[in-house]
Structure 1
């Protein structure tokens, strides 16, 4: 009786194995006929007992499953890429354990081809502004080919473009962990027929030059991307509101690239956002020394001094800005505003004065000083109109100053220029 039971169990397993083989064959046939959906359904029928099947059948099953899901991915189902990858990896692990490698070569080749397909699809997604999809595909491409860390770098960039900052932070931190540098050499030569500079790998470039199809070979070193990565990590932490981690990231980045003025600016802006205006001012001063011809830097130094009531320092910064860029409209407007603000600061004292002879004299003195300041502010804008006669912001601010001065003639003139 015991023998019969064992025999029945053996027959049962044999039947299951036969059924699985038929379903795998049906899946292969459906896939060959272009019906990936039917192939997927056939495989689902074999899935429940596949883990108890012999290694050879398991390897075949996962090889077919990889092919089916890869076909689905190529036809637009991006979510199928991961299943295809997992299936091919299962093929490799099963055959590695059994020592029989019938499907491993095909699985490896398919994953290599899939990497290229993922990257090409990601490029198309980025062009269509589908940044989240692009980032996911580039990351999968990197996981398929870990030596190609450039894919991980571009995955992070796509995530930033899609404003998926948590995912971008994950990718950037992984770039740090694997020690991605990004520096290298770009090999170029001029195509003699078209006259265009073309980039290619070194061996191809050298062959083309020897064949006289290209000329003027050049080797151009590309800089390290480490500072950019750490800076982006800091910016993302700042965006996510984790200012302490952002400050630590800036500190690390500046240790790597102490001469990078953009890192100083980034840290300065973070301190400004945190309310530490003194530190902001200090760092902006450092940045200004590092880039003395940077009009934007000088303008921002003017802004912070203006906000802190340091009007003379603000004017000095705005004048330096305008010496570099005479057409910097915001610097012109703010320079004018420093005089208006100083004049307005006298009004409270003027209103507090009484009717005594001394108070009247003080009132007249303050009013003259206020009017002189407003006139100086108007003069800045009148000079601006010489090169920007139609600028609406300049005209509007100038109209308001003349209105406050009670200068009816100039007030009407500016109103006409505004078309009012």
Structure 2
């Protein structure tokens, strides 16, 4: 009796395998006819028992499942379906499928291209979701986790962004590396390649020209800064500063981190502390015109006109073509005008007051005349600089220079 029972069991097991093979073959036929709904239904009917089958049958099952959920136009599929397709191709790849890797790449490319389209349409939340899905399908490509975090931040989904950024820190992600490009001769467009080896292979085909390489800087400071800014956005300045301080303790000479720390203080309204840190950075990077310019802006916001003038002059000394520095330098000089006007308005009609009024009028005119050359230089560098042009019109109107007024008004047209 036991032998007969065993024989019946073997027959039943064999029948089950045959049924699974049949359903998988039927699903493959449905896929070839692009009847993906039918293929999904057929595959679901055998999914519960596929884990106990031989590897070759499991491989066929996961390839078919991947194809069914990927469809003929993967870029139009939902994130959920592409996730299922990707995970299925990963399983098929582990089981030895030679086609799975190429199909997995198609799924990831569909997610990435769709994410780019969402990002361009400013649908940052969907873009983040797709980029994170792409990262999950190949966790070696941490760049897509970084992009997902950036899009989540833009979507103001700070909880998700913070989770992604913290994961990047745990992975010690820096983003440093090289990007490899070449120009497609047929389209004339520059294309990016996965690595140097891939780019060189395409160069040998003769269809590409002008190989180019770009160094990618470290993103560690930016990630730390964004974590801190998110804490700040959530009203937790203490956590934000702790995040920066922790990173600086490990890398005290990293000027990018120091500037990130300065930005946090700036965002929190502590402009004095911001200035102190930036001045320390300038000791290491004394030819950074942009930092002197930023200090000038901060000094203006603190009503420190003389300091801002010093900073802007230093920025111009380093970079004589920085048009906005000339405009802001003139604006800093004109900040003194308010105190002159306030004093003029407070004077009476006595002889002494009239004398003082004339002195102040002359002082005001001198102030205008001293500011004009910097504004004119800004216009020379940027003929469409509306702020500089309008300020010149206002000054020359006060000085009675009608010809100058007409000249700059004509430039506004």
> Normalized against structure 2, the TM-score is what?
0.70
- Within 5 Å, give how 1:8-407 maps onto structure 2: 21=20, 23-24=23-24, 26-44=26-44, 46=45, 51=48, 55-56=52-53, 64=61, 67-73=64-70, 75=72, 76=74, 77-78=77-78, 79-85=80-86, 105-106=95-96, 112-122=101-111, 124-125=113-114, 128=117, 130=119, 136=129, 139-146=132-139, 148=140, 151-160=141-150, 163-164=154-155, 166=158, 167-180=160-173, 200=196, 226-238=220-232, 242-384=236-378, 391-403=385-397, 405=398, 407=399
Contact (CA 8 Å) 1:132, 1:159: kept in 2 or not? no
For the aligned residue pairs, the C-alpha RMSD in angstroms reads 4.3
How many pairs were matched up?
365
Q: Which has the greater radius of gyration?
A: 1
1:417 aligns with 2:408: yes
Question: Counterpart of 2:142 in 1: which secondary structure?
Answer: helix
> Normalized against structure 1, the TM-score is what?
0.69
Deviations 1:291-331 (A, max 9, x none): 21111111111111122121111111111111112232221
Q: Distance in 2 between matches of 1:181 and 1:401?
A: 51
Contact (CA 8 Å) 2:108, 2:137: kept in 1 or not? no
Contact (CA 8 Å) 2:262, 2:273: kept in 1 or not? yes
Name stretches of at least 5 consecutive residues in structure 2 with no aligned partner.
Answer: 1-8, 181-192, 201-213
Aligned to 1:217: none
Q: Distance in 1 between matches of 2:359 and 2:373?
A: 21
Cα distance, 1:222 vs structure 2 = 8.0
- From the superposition, tell whether residues 139 and 355 of structure 1 become closer, same or farther in structure 2 (CA, over 3 Å): closer
Cα distance, 1:377 vs structure 2 = 1.8
Q: Distance in 1 between matches of 2:345 and 2:354?
A: 11
Question: Counterpart of 2:253 in 1: which secondary structure?
Answer: coil
Contact (CA 8 Å) 1:157, 1:168: kept in 2 or not? no
Cα distance, 1:120 vs structure 2 = 3.4
Contact (CA 8 Å) 1:340, 1:373: kept in 2 or not? yes
Q: Distance in 1 between matches of 2:17 and 2:379?
A: 90
Q: Distance in 1 between matches of 2:177 and 2:343?
A: 66
Name stretches of at least 5 consecutive residues in structure 1 with no aligned partner.
Answer: 1-9, 93-102, 188-197, 206-219
